[in-house]
Amino acid sequence: MIRDHTLRLLEAYRAFDELEHAYHRDTCAFVRSYSESHRRSHANGHVTGSAWVVDHEGKHALLVHHRRLERWLQPGGHVEDDVTVLETALREAREETGLACSPVSRDIFDLDIHCIPANAHEPEHLHYDIRFLLVADRDEMPTASGESRDVRWFSWDQIHAMACGPSIDRMVHKCRARGVGTGPHGNEP
């Protein structure tokens, strides 16, 4: 069952800082409270899966410029059918960037809870976002999906200068602190 798998991942995860600790506590409580916590039909919020895609050297991340939210974000989205959050992150990365991505680890990389504004189809709700670290070849050309205006590789310094927000900043900080990468200049986390 997806819920049990998600809870096992959450129980094994250790938060990076106090804010993420609060996200971890609240995400665990949410998943424990609702057997259908990953279903989009759960109106007040649901679990989502995202991908923090880095290059093999661990010096760049791939971001998409979300059409509706008008922000640079990591690829990610809703859990469909009965797939895991990691499978969701892999699917979303492929759909939103056109690149083949591989998990650096099957463990959670980051957690976030954020509010999604109301739209014509859904009321305002929360995304309990479970993120995984993926790697892709920076030499391959990414392709934006219909949900995005653009998709591009950015260096850590470029991302910091863009002021994408504390969620993105935390993932960059994790990569820098851990020397993330799988090539000759980086190490797996």
Minimal CA–CA distance to 66: which of 144, 133, 159?
Answer: 144
Which pLDDT value is given to residue 43? 77
Q: Which amino acid is at 17?
A: D
Which pLDDT value is given to residue 91? 95
Which pLDDT value is given to residue 69? 73
Minimal CA–CA distance to 90: which of 51, 128, 44?
Answer: 51
CB 173 within 8 A of CB 159: no
Query: How many CB atoms within 10 Å of residue 64?
Result: 25
Q: Where does residue 181 fall: left (phi above 0), alpha (psi -120 to 50 degrees), or beta otherwise?
A: left
Which residues, including other chains, have CB under 8 Å from residue 83's CB and lie 6 or more apart?
Answer: 2, 91
Which pLDDT value is given to residue 143? 86
Which pLDDT value is given to residue 186? 40
Share of residues in the chain with pLDDT > 90 (%): 64
Which pLDDT value is given to residue 181? 58
Minimal CA–CA distance to 17: which of 167, 163, 132?
Answer: 167
Minimal CA–CA distance to 138: which of 76, 65, 73, 60?
Answer: 60
CA angle (69 as vertex; 102, 9 as ends), nearest 5:
40
CA angle (65 as vertex; 6, 21 as ends), nearest 5:
35
Going from N- to C-terminal start, the domains of the chain cover 2-178
Distance CA 43, CA 119 (A): 13
Q: Which amino acid is at 95?
A: E
Residues of the chain below pLDDT 70: 181-189
Class of domain 2-178: alpha beta
